[in-house]
Each structure stands twice: as C-alpha cells, then as structure tokens.
C-alpha cells in the first residue's frame, strides 16, 4: 500500500535581494505532475527521494535519489512519478542573463545570451551535494546575503567549469592580480555593514565569478569567510577592552549575539565569555 501524500506537497522560496534565482521543494511528486513544458530560466534540480521518469527533449531516463537533472531555457522536459511511487526533489530556477554573466569571463557567452549547457543528467555525488548545500543556504533565513551570493556564484561557476571548453584561471594569475587587495580594503572599511558581492565587484572592477574564485585561490577563503573573520578580529579587540558580548556583536555587524558567539567559537576555539574572562 502506498503512503498517504502530505497536505503540502511543495513549497516555493524567493528573496527580493536575490532576484536571479527561485527555489522549489516538492515533498511528494505524486501530487505535482507535469505535461511537457519549458521554462525561460535555466533549471537544475536534485532528486532527494524515490524514483521518477525524466524526459528532456527526445531523451528519457528513470532517475532516483542522488541524481541531478538540468534543463536549458526553452528545452521541452517533464518529470513524473513511476506508477504511484513516492518521490521528492528540489529545483532551482536561474535567470538566464545572470548565468550568462558568469559564462562571459570563461569565454562561453557572447553578449547577454546564455550558451546552452550540455549536461541534462548527472549522478556525480559532489554535484548533488553541492546543489543541496546551495538550496539549504539560499533558504536559510539566518544566512547573510553575501554568504548566499557567494555560495550561488561558486556553485554555478563550478558548474560552468564542468562544461566542455571551460578554462580555469591559474592560482599564479590570481596572486598577481592587485585588484584583489581592493576587496580586502573594502571589507576592512565596511565589515560592520551588510556587504554585498555587487559592492566588492564595484570596488575591484572584477566579475563576481572571477572575484570569488581568485579571492579563494589567493587568500584561502571566500570573501564572505574573510568578512566574518574580520568581524571576529574586531570583536576580540572590543572584548579585550571590556565591552559586553552583546555590544561587541552589535558593533561588528552580526545580526544577533548568538551568531557572534557561534562564529567566535569556530575561530577562537573558545566562547566570547571565556575569552573576555
């Protein structure tokens, strides 16, 4: 006997600060069936439970948990259940022009047009794990905007690098790029603020995908990680001066004291209270 479908088979997520992406989670695909259709967006999803039929153009597969499916804008596709088997998935719908902006530094895109990605199906565990991590980050109400932007750009830049003909900039070229220092300087001057990837791109003159990849290559962490690290350094100084934990958290740009405490312990291996004492 099949399980009873849940009352809410699917949920949608959107954030006006991230207009280039929308997410959907379907907990019971038996109640969310499709005719053949297309999207204006680039669409990519992870099968998180059960099995289903997947059609993309003239190609058909049976997919199961661990699979990643992808559709270019305008591609005819459909996913539907096998008989009455439960299945679940997560989908991201990505603005084609935004993705084309990431393609251009890699030599794939001309103008504002997205060059079609050849991958329609993957069972690579790293890609599956990365897509689920991106979904969790985007839908996490406690995650900062810069972290969401960083994880999104990293995931899709990596996806583009998986495509035939992608070029990878060397670490030596990153280390020699003086524009990365401008990113450090901007973060040092604005770490109390809600820094966005657009702010760093404007300060450096770099594209978002190059900035994140080059920054990580040169400094060993993403801009968001560096921002948090810079806030903790300032927080330590305030605690040494005798400031309260709550005041130190507020003065260094954290949304609340709990977030400050978590990040502090990760980097100092002690709580703010222990450090202050």
Q: Among 35-44, 88-97, 146-155, 222-231, name the one with the lowest average pLDDT.
A: 35-44
Structure tokens at 152: 């999104």
- pTM, two decimals, is 0.75
Q: Is the pLDDT of residue 1 over 70?
A: no
- pLDDT of the residue at 10: 73
Per-residue pLDDT tens digits for 186-214: 999 999 999 999 999 999 999 999 999 89
- pLDDT of the residue at 167: 38
Per-residue pLDDT tens digits for 102-145: 988 755 545 568 888 989 999 999 999 999 999 999 999 999 99
Q: Is the pLDDT of residue 170 over 60?
A: no
Averaged pLDDT, 87-104: 92
């Amino acid at each position: 006997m099949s399980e009873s479908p849940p009352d809410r088979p699917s949920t949608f997520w959107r954030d006006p600060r991230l207009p280039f992406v929308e997410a959907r989670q379907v907990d019971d695909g038996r109640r969310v069936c499709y005719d053949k259709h297309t999207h204006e967006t680039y669409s990519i999803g992870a099968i998180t439970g059960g099995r289903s039929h997947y059609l993309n153009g003239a190609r058909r597969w049976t997919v199961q948990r661990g699979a990643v499916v992808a559709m270019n804008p305008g591609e005819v596709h459909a996913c539907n259940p096998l008989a009455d088997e439960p299945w679940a998935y997560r989908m991201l719908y990505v603005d084609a022009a935004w993705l084309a902006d990431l393609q251009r530094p890699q030599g794939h895109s001309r103008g504002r047009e997205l060059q079609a990605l050849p991958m329609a199906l993957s069972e690579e565990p790293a890609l599956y794990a990365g897509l689920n991590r991106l979904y969790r980050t985007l839908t996490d109400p406690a995650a900062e905007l810069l972290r969401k932007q960083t994880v999104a750009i990293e995931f899709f830049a990596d996806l583009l690098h998986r495509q035939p003909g992608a070029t990878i900039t060397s670490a030596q070229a990153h280390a020699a790029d003086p524009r990365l220092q401008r990113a450090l300087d901007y973060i040092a001057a604005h770490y109390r603020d809600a820094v966005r990837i657009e702010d760093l791109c404007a300060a450096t003159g770099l594209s978002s995908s190059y900035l994140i990849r080059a920054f990580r290559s040169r400094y060993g962490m993403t801009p968001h990680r560096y921002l948090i690290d810079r806030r903790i350094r300032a927080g330590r100084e305030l605690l040494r001066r005798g400031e309260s934990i709550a005041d130190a958290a507020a003065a260094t740009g954290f949304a609340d004291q709990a977030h400050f405490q978590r990040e502090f312990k990760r980097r100092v291996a002690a709580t703010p209270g222990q450090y202050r004492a």
